[in-house]
Structure 1
Amino acid sequence: MYRSYNNRSRNRSSKGMMIILALTLGVVIYSVKSFFFDEMAIASGNNMNKEQIELIVKEYLQNNPELIADSLKAAHEKTMKESEEKAKVAISSRKKEIESTKTSPFEGKNDADVVIVEFFDYRCGYCKTANKTVNQLVAEDKNLKVIFKQYPILGEDSYLAAKSALAIFEMDAKKYVTFHNKLMEIKQINKESINNLVKELGFDFAMFEQTMTKKSIEEELTRIRDLAKDVNINGTPAFIINGELIPGALDLDNFKAKIAEIRKNKSK
């Protein structure tokens, strides 16, 4: 199941690159079309052949390399802007689902004025760093709510870790955060290290193994993958804070600044 999703991710990336290349080519052609028309007219009058015309175009691009760089930049910016707009619409339309805690664990105040939704992978180094920042935020700010979305994108061990965390959540929701934080501290996550942690924390191991096979866990991970795709999340960590997508980790000061900005806007 993980592999099939990974293949779809690669296919989307390939399509994205093809779109960017096509846009770039279009911008380059548009930028130099007046030059082409002038040279073609001259070439026609001079009875120049295809090779001679191609040489003129090649020399022009070599003498004006900034055209290609500018075109790549413009195409990238256009694609990014379109993706951001699409993500905003998707986040707005699926806000209730994104912030639902019916099947997703959370910590903090249930009716907090600021909601942070985190998409993460237990094997992601940046996620491990971000987790320390999030823990500090929740400890200092008693009016925050952090919702955890398991988004395993770094291999089979990531998928296994996500399933194990959701299994613990189903077994005892109150102990999820403890398990989550301990799992984030493990450098080499695999079946053995996960099982050792389950036993170390005193969970019923037989029940844990049985819970891991539940269909509800597979369904939750599928929902999160589809949700991440819909709101244009392609890596971890990624945060949605009160409806705004923030890809990548923020440091503590930037998190606090963003939260303060949200509260200020709410008070207007």
Structure 2
Amino acid sequence: MRRFLALLAMLLLGSWTTLAAAESFTPAQRAEIVEILRNALKTDPGILRDAITALQDADGAQQQAAMRSAIAAAGNALTKTPGDPVEGNVRGDVTVVEFYDLRCPYCRRMLPVAAELLRRDGNVRIVYKDIPILGPASMLGARAVLAAQKQGGYLKLRTALMSGPADITTDTLRAAAERTGLDWDKLQKDMTDPAVQARIDANLTLARRLGIQGTPAYVIGDRMMPGAVELADLQSAIAATRQGQKQ
């Protein structure tokens, strides 16, 4: 009986208009249901809690299903875009896709976590998707690290910038570039290459398609993991992806 009442409460909370439109109940029947629930809630308030929990679970399941569909639709754009920066085992059996902003404090917090992940697991491949969403300084940094690829310095400059001041300027950028052995004049020229901006635009478009609203965000297999997460969470998602590949 409790389960039945919780179901009625869930329907009333989440889809009463659907019930009315479908004309499943007459107005008198609906009024009677409301009265039954009102009386039941007086004696057992937990019914409402159960209904809300059921609604949240249903919403979560729908969101997960929608996300899996979006990830599947993205296909190779996620893991196999030519020229995407890669760290770890380029032939790894699991790819972790990280959407990040160089200035994001949570992304910076994940820098040692990713390093530890790669240290412990030699069969993981990380693909970096620069999405400069925190203003002009982020865009400046993103253009710089992507331009640094032409000198084989993406990872070095990325680490230097994410370990330095969050307010990326031309001066801090030049200092980081020279400290990591990059040719500053060439870097400046390569930053104006339309291909660099095209890569950033493609990353931003892909992030929007996936519904990513903040950084960092990780895609592992058919899972999306938003925000700074624990190493154990990444390892668990990787293990689940490996298990799914065996089936």
Same fold? TM cut 0.5: yes
Q: CA deviation at 1:74?
A: 7.9
Structure 1 pair 186/264, CA: closer, same or farther in 2 (3 Å)?
same
Q: CA deviation at 1:234?
A: 0.9
Alignment map for 1:11-160 (pairs within 5 Å): 81-160=61-140
Residue number in structure 2 paired with 1:254: 233
- The AA in structure 2 aligned to 1:124 is C
Q: CA deviation at 1:261?
A: 2.4
Find the partner of 2:184 among 205, 227, 233. Answer: 205
Q: Which moved more, 1:186-195 or 1:136-145?
A: 186-195
Gaps of 5+ in 1: 1-23, 41-59
Find the partner of 2:166 among 177, 188, 197. Answer: 188
Question: Take 1:176 and 1:158, find their aligned partners in 2: how far apart are those partners?
Answer: 15
Q: Is the 8 A contact 1:118 1:149 kept in 2?
A: yes
Structure 1 pair 158/37, CA: closer, same or farther in 2 (3 Å)?
farther
Residue number in structure 1 paired with 2:9: none
State the Cα RMSD in Å: 3.4
Question: Take 2:56 and 2:175, find their aligned partners in 1: how far apart are those partners?
Answer: 46
Q: CA deviation at 1:94?
A: 1.9
Identity of matched residues, %: 25
Question: Take 1:231 and 1:175, find their aligned partners in 2: how far apart are those partners?
Answer: 29
Q: CA deviation at 1:266?
A: 2.8
Q: CA deviation at 1:267?
A: 3.1
- The AA in structure 1 aligned to 2:168 is N
Alignment map for 1:232-243 (pairs within 5 Å): 232-243=211-222
Q: CA deviation at 1:258?
A: 2.1
Q: Normalization by structure 2: what TM-score?
A: 0.75
SS in 2 for 1:147: strand
Find the partner of 1:226 among 205, 214, 217. Answer: 205
Q: Is the 8 A contact 1:122 1:128 kept in 2?
A: yes
Q: Is the 8 A contact 1:108 1:144 kept in 2?
A: yes
- The AA in structure 1 aligned to 2:193 is K
Q: Is the 8 A contact 2:67 2:223 kept in 1?
A: no
- The AA in structure 2 aligned to 1:113 is D
Q: CA deviation at 1:249?
A: 2.2
Q: CA deviation at 1:262?
A: 2.2
Q: CA deviation at 1:257?
A: 2.1
Residue number in structure 2 paired with 1:162: 142
Q: Is the 8 A contact 2:177 2:184 kept in 1?
A: yes
